[in-house]
Amino acid sequence: MFSRTRRLRRNENIRSLVRETELSVKDFVYPIFIEEGENIETEIVSMPGIKRFSLDTIVKELNEIKALNIPAVLLFGIPNKKDDIGSETWNDNGIIQRAIKLIKQDYPELYIITDVCFCEYTSHGHCGVIDDHDLDNDASLKNLAKQVVSHAKAGADMIAPSGMLDGMITTIRTALDTNGFYNIPIMSYAVKYASAFYGPFRDAADSTPSFGDRRTYQMDPANRIEALTEATIDTNEQADILMVKPALSYLDIIRDLKTNFNTPIACYNVSGEYAMIKAAAEKGWIDEDRVMLESLLSMKRAGANIIITYFAKAAAKLLN
Ligand code: PBG
């Protein structure tokens, strides 16, 4: 006698009764790129279907997000003015601050998460202040505090720091709390690898480093135990949600964090992961919808509660 596991696969009714993981539009966060200026609606060549919008053109996009019941957006700003410290990040009238106010006012049902970093705002493209060709951690933290307070004052619902600076969660929590924003949660890019999968994003956000790379602050893709160290530090510093980034090549890390930590786990299905599926589908080599849903499902099955993805709209259309 042998086991017959095929009994529970005989038709869709029984398969759906025993299904362990279900993807939902409620799992998604949609990243949007907002550029300073007017009448901008620029396709990002390496991310087909994703555009950079200005504040006057973003309405169409927001209406669509709302109609599809996507619960949250992750905002990235592309300013006109860059300098060597990224001072536009804490300008209360900067592009992100104005975007937050617009969305809060016209789309109150959308949850606004801001990506907190400097690389789109610095002339050198690194994630903070540079000293002697490397990121000056503590000088960058001082500016980070100013940036998050400015986002919070504009109305951000959640802060997501992506710079991989030491002490960033303590710094942000303290800055938010001392300004009365103790109800704003922090979603930490706690485990962010120095990944080649960010390539298309750097075109999108205009944030390619002008020298060197990010390996002195982002993690070595070879390391798994270190992910637990990073996550431990960030939860001790009161991070509310831990993120793993990228997602697809790091499903083992998502599972490790899910097993070892009680906070919700997020993952970032990054630009290169999106671009690969789009490119293969364009060539007719894969079924885009099915490969998309299967990869998103794998992230949820690995343990992610929140999936940040450029596929949010496309997947929502199939799941709603
Ligand atoms: C940094 C940041 C990056 C991404 C999100 N926030 C790029 C980087 O670290 O170089 C990548 C997102 C993606 O590839 O989709 N602010």
Give the tens place of pLDDT for each residue, 279-299. Answer: 999 999 999 999 999 999 999
Contact status, residue 112 vs residue 141, Cβ threshold 8 Å: no
CATH, residue 140:
3.20.20.70
Average pLDDT, the chain: 97
Structure tokens at 292: 């998309």
Alpha-carbon separation of residue 49 from 42, 58, 61, 177 (angstroms): 10, 14, 11, 39
pLDDT at 140 over 90: yes
Q: How confident is the model at residue 21 (pLDDT cuts 50, 70, 90)?
A: very high
**pLDDT number for residue 208:** 86
**Structural domain contains residue 298:** yes
pLDDT, position 148: 98
* Ligand 1, atom 14: closest residue by C-alpha: 198
In a domain, 217, yes or no: yes
Flag whether 11 is in a domain. Answer: no
Taking only the tens place, the pLDDT of each residue in 65-86 is 999 999 999 999 999 999 999 9
Q: What percent of the chain has pLDDT over 90?
A: 94
User: Does 10 reside within a domain?
Assistant: no
Cα-flanking dihedrals φ and ψ of residue 161, to 5°? -75, 130
pLDDT at 124: 94
Residue 124, C-beta contacts closer than 8 angstroms, at least 6 positions apart = 84, 130, 209, 210, 211
CA 277 to chain centroid, in Å, comes to: 18
Peptide bond into 246 cis (omega under 30): yes
- pLDDT exceeds 90 at position 203: no
104 close to 155: Cβ distance less than 8 angstroms: yes
Expressed in angstroms and rounded, the spacing between residue 200 Cα and the centre of ligand 1 is 9
Residue 288 maps to a domain: yes
Residues with beta carbon inside 6 Å of ligand 1? 115, 117, 119, 162, 198, 201-202, 207, 214, 270-271
Q: Based on the structure, what is the number of domains in the chain? A: 1
Strands 134-135 and 158-161: unpaired
Select from 118, 122, 201 the residue to mutate for testing ligand 1; criterion: most ligand atoms less than 8 Å from CB. 201
Q: Confidence band (pLDDT; 50, 70, 90) for 206?
A: confident
| Amino acid at position 142, single letter | K
- The pLDDT score that the predictor gives to residue 276 is 98
Pairing of β 51-53 and β 265-269: unpaired
Decide if 54 is inside a domain. yes
Q: Catalytic positions, please? A: 192, 245
Parent domain of 193: 19-319
Which tokens go with 57? 């053109």
Report yes or no on 109 lying in a domain. yes
Residue 220 within any structural domain of the chain: yes
Ligand 1: residue whose CA is nearest its atom 10: 198
How confident is the model at residue 207, as a pLDDT?
Answer: 84
Determine the distance separating the centroid of ligand 1 and the alpha carbon of 2, expressed in angstroms. 50
Q: Ligand 1: which of 270, 277, 299 to mutate, most ligand atoms within 8 Å of CB?
A: 270
Distance of CA 24 to the CA centre of its chain: 18
* Cα 136 to Cα 45, 187, 217, 259, distances in angstroms: 33, 23, 10, 34
Q: Where does the pLDDT of residue 151 fall: very low under 50, low under 70, confident under 90, or very high at 90 and above? A: very high
